[in-house]
Structure 1
Amino acid sequence: MQSKVSIIQEVPEESLPRERLLAFGEKALANHELLAILLRTGYRDTNVLGLAMQVLSSFENLAQLKLASLVELQAIKGIGQAKAIELRAAIELGSRIAQSTLPKLGQLTSTEEAGQWLLKEMRDLHQEHLVVLFLNSKNEIIRKRTIFMGTVNSACAHPREIFKEAVKYPTARIIMAHNHPSGDTTPSGADLNFTERMIECGDLMGIEILDHLIIGDHSYRSLREEEGLFE
């Protein structure tokens, strides 16, 4: 069996930034390594890492690189029109991403407001759906996600599936809802146990579980208001 060191030594130098990104993530890479991934290849007697260093040394800082024109980029040895265009496109995309914001689906003033909204959306579903609203610190809904769709008498989901989604966004609070196709909003033992587990996990994660709503035909039930689980 080959050692890890020998395997790395066999990787071409131009591939090392990609290998490092796969192994350690993009944040572990230096600026010239990230740039080398975009450039892909070097030129005669200079590998892609060397070319990336040349590009960076041609500007005082990354802010100056961001402002570089196609003409300025092509003035660097090893940067032709194709590479210059790709760099400009990558820079512009990065700029647009930096200026973008997460879409908001509205701001909630109460869980009752959420209950009325979800009642309209979920009361006619024939299977149980577990829907989660992810809220920021201003109670703005930044994500609405159906976590689980089950049979007409079973809706099971592990807390990790919800919190895995929550940590992708600036989530401060969560409202959960699932429907009972029978129309009866009486919570089952499984509903109560799941809610308790979610509250415990939320306390550990620093994400508040605002409520768990059970949606029926014409009404919904708030477990926060009626079951005393949130005390």
Structure 2
Amino acid sequence: MTKLSVNINKVATLRNARGGNVPDVLKVAQDCENFGADGITVHPRPDERHIRRSDVYALRPLLRTEFNIEGYPSREFIDLVLQVKPHQVTLVPDSPTQLTSNAGWDTKAHFTFLSEVLDAFNNAGIRTSVFVSTDAEMIEYAAKAGADRVELYTEPYASAYAGNREAAVAPFVEAGKVARNLGLGLNAGHDLNLENLNYFYQNIPWLDEVSIGHALICDALYLGLERTIQEYKNCLR
């Protein structure tokens, strides 16, 4: 069964807007687990505009499910991950000021850099995932660099879904097959929601994990967090 990892960055954004500790990021993470989430994802950025480094350290001993830290592998990020030792680290090619992840790695152009970073995490016993597009060559070079998994950047699928969902999902199905044939695990994330998630899963049922934050937290404003997590889990059955 495909696992649901809840990205709690938006909860931290809301907290930071007023200062203090409301909402409590640590409690929300634990509530997500209690409501059925299979993991928690955080993306700490250098300016700490949402998840803070202190949150990452505080979450690690509290979580009972899988902990996934994603981010650009700067020296500071690498040190943080090696200290915390989450279950999984997801490498994304974001610049420090980028609003959100909006592209996969050029794993061929950055092959040497990624290989060195992945070696450090693999040697520490941390499962590694690399954020990529559906380009087969990018997936192949991620495998050559030493990744355990790739995470498909699904914004193009989400954008095209309403117009022609068969055409929208087709390149992702092919990319998933490439990853599977290379022995890579397969994750997916970005703009997946209650409308488009089930169709994506139906077409790529060997997905290991989806990471969802923005849409899930927005839905929780209307449905409540517990029901929302169950609705997303239902999309993966």
TM-score (norm 1): 0.31
TM-score (norm 2): 0.30
User: Which has the greater radius of gyration?
Assistant: 1
